[in-house]
Structure 1
Amino acid sequence: MDAHIKKVYVPMTETSFYILLCLREDMHGYGIVQKVEKLTDKNVILSPGTMYGSLGKMEKDGLIRFVREDEKRKIYHITELGQEVLALEIRRIKRLYRNVEEVLG
């Protein structure tokens, strides 16, 4: 993995994390917004500007790829690089959780 990608994406913003988590299956931007709202009980709401800016940057960086267009909606999927970055972030979050458990009991 490129050092630049690691530096930019780890630690990851909530937006980036949820986008990559959702794109383990083919999905369009609005579908991601809906899934994130459901997963987080509406505690995380992705605005269209944030969503589409993140999708564009992640596609440019090779973390996601355009799959097809469906009724004028762009469908994306996580790439192998995106899966690697997501796995790094999940390990980081699990470590944080373990540390909290150790300290707070």
Structure 2
Amino acid sequence: MARKSQELGRFTDVALLVLISLAEGQKHGYRMISDIEEFSGTSLEPGTLYGALMRLEERGWIEPVASAERRKPYRITDGGRAALREQLATLRRVEQTGVRRSLAWGPA
């Protein structure tokens, strides 16, 4: 049985974009901002990104990776992958419902 949204808490678009970016592999903030803009066309401000990183880390969906460099990389956790899969499944249902309902009105 799928988890309910109350268990996941409020899931923002930024959080989803971060999880999608980290699903490809670990990244630091600047690389995430570039990647997210590349695949989604969404330009994030650093404050927006770092707020989302903090919330995702608190939930245990991402974690920092030890690094000798100045930049702090993050990676997605197993819990983050499960949350991402659930959110993507929800988005597919929403998209399918939207397409079906919009077609019910006929051509534009």
TM-score range, shorter chain: 0.7 to 0.9
1:82 equivalent to 2:77? Answer: no
Q: Does 1:18 align with 2:17?
A: yes
Structure (1/2) with the larger strand percentage: 1
Q: Which amino acid aligns with 1:26?
A: Q
SS at match of 1:74: coil
Hey, what does 1:7 align to over in structure 2?
Answer: 9
Structure exhibiting the larger radius of gyration computed from Cα positions:
2
Q: How far apart are the structure 2 equivalents of 1:84 and 1:37?
A: 23
* Letter paired with 1:47: E
Residues matched between the structures, number: 100
What SS does the aligned partner of 2:64 have?
Answer: strand
Closer, same or farther in 2 for the Cα pair 1:97/1:52, shift >3 Å?
same
Query: Please, what is the CA RMSD of the aligned residues?
Result: 1.9
Distance 2:29 2:90 in 1: 26
Structure 2 SS opposite 1:65: strand
Number of the residue aligned with 2:35: 35
Deviation at 1:5, TM superposition (A): 4.7
Q: Could you tell me how far apart the structure 2 residues matched to 1:61 and 1:6 are?
A: 9
Q: CA deviation at 1:39?
A: 1.0
Among all aligned residue pairs of Structure 1 and Structure 2, give the percentage whose two residues are the same amino acid. 27
CA contact (8 A) 1:15 1:51 kept: yes
Tell me the TM-score normalised to structure 2 length.
Answer: 0.82
Q: Would you say 1:56 and 2:58 are equivalent positions?
A: no
Structure 1 stretches of 4+ moved >4 Å: none
- Would the alpha carbon gap of residues 40 and 101 (structure 1) be closer, same or farther in structure 2, given more than 3 Å must change? same
